[in-house]
Amino acid sequence: MKEITIFAKDRVGLLADITEMIGKSGINIEFLSGEAVAGIAVIHVTFSDELAAVSLLEKAGFTVISSEILVLRIPNKPGEIGEISRMLSKEGISIQNIYFMGEKEKHGFFAVKVDKYEYAKEILKKYVQA
């Protein structure tokens, strides 16, 4: 799955401008997470049509980075994220970004961006969602 990261100067109405533009184009937002740090907004999004969304955002003047992410289905019990994090660290894989996407049937779904995507995908194959 592709995650789009949008970087912009933080301002009132920024999220409204981005999400309305995307919505008017018929592109669905599947996941959205954002924060503002030192006046810069960093917004992580997955879209139903990643290529069209990137094109639209770039034409509107936004700085956009597209990255591969792993979507993991993890049993909802204490210690599971710790176990997965340790598995990756033992293999020298750095977690660059992780966030919770939701829960279904006693499993949490997490988006994970790592520095060695293919290797991490193999290490975590029992958790990776297609």
Query: How confident is the model over 56-109, as pLDDT tens digits?
Result: 999 999 999 999 999 999 999 999 999 999 999 999 999 999 988 889 989 999
Digit-coded pLDDT (tens) for 10-36: 999 999 999 999 999 999 999 999 999
Record the pTM.
0.83
DSSP collapsed to 3 states, 31-97: EEEEEEECCEEEEEEEECCHHHHHHHHHHCCCEEEEEECEEEEEECCCCHHHHHHHHHHHCCCCEEE
Are the beta carbons of 126 and 84 closer than 8 angstroms? no
Please report the domains of the chain, with CATH numbers, ordered by start residue.
2-68 (3.30.2130.10), 70-123 (3.30.2130.10)
